[in-house]
Amino acid sequence: MSNYQSVARVYANVNQSMSRDYWDYDTLQVQWGYVWPSFFSCLLLASRSPVLMPLPPSPFHFCRLSVQDNYEIIRKVGRGKYSEVFEGINVVNGEKCVIKVLKPVKKKKIKREIKILQNLAGGPNIVGLLDVVRDPQSKTPSLISEFVNNTDFKILYPKFTDYDIRYYMFELLK
C-alpha cells in the first residue's frame, strides 16, 4: 500500500485561510424563505410584489420576499439519492428555475449543501442558489436554483466520440 497522499492543486488549504464562518456549516442558521439577491434585485422584486414590505436599509441586508408558494413545478428533470429535481417557475417574476426537493436527511447535510453553494456563488460553472424554502406542513426543504438550459447528459453521452471523451476528461482534470 502506498503512502502517497493526494492533495488538490487548487484550494487545498482554503478552509485554513478563511474564518470559521466560511467552513462551519454546523452553526449555519438557515434563513428559510429568504433570497440572496443584490439590493437592486430586492427593489425590483419588491416593486412587483403584491405584499407590502419594507425595503432593506442597505445592500447587505436580506429582504423577505419569497415563500414556497412563489414557485410552481413544471416537470421532473431528475432525481438522486438525497433529492428530486424539477424544472419550475417563479410565479412572482415569471422566470424559470430549478426546484430541488430534498428527501428526509439529517439537517447537517442540508446545511452543508447550502453553505457550499453560498461560498461558491459567482464562481465559474457554479449554479446560483436563489432561495431556500420549506413546506409549512411537512417541513420538507427545497433549494431553488437558477435554470440552466442544457442537454440531458443521458442523451448526450451515447453520442460522444473518442475525441469528445478525451476533451471533456482533459477539461475536468485541468
**Hey, which of 27-31, 36-40, 63-67 has the most confident mean pLDDT?**
27-31
Residue 60 belongs to a domain: yes
| Number of independent structural domains in the chain | 1
Top-confidence residue, 99 or 28: 99
Confidence of residue 126 (pLDDT cuts 50, 70, 90): confident
Residue 155 belongs to a domain: no
In this model, does residue 4 exceed pLDDT 80? Answer: no
Range 124-143 average pLDDT = 86
What is the domain range of residue 138? 14-149
Q: What pLDDT does 161 receive?
A: 95
Read off the pLDDT of residues 55-84 as tens digits, 9 standing for 90 and up.
334 333 344 445 667 899 999 998 888 899
pTM > 0.85: yes or no:
no
Which backbone phi and psi does 100 adopt, to 5 degrees?
-105, 105
Residue 33 belongs to a domain: yes
Residue with cell 428533470: 77
Range 99-124 average pLDDT = 88
Residue 156 belongs to a domain: no
CATH classification of the domain holding 19:
3.30.200.20
Q: What pLDDT does 143 receive?
A: 92
In this model, does residue 170 exceed pLDDT 70? Answer: yes
> From CA 78, how far away is CA 154, in angstroms rounded?
11
| Contacting residues for 76 by C-beta, under 8 A, at least 6 apart | 84, 85, 86, 87
Residue 160 belongs to a domain: no
Residue 173 belongs to a domain: no
Q: What pLDDT does 1 receive?
A: 58
Residue 56 belongs to a domain: yes
Residue 117 belongs to a domain: yes
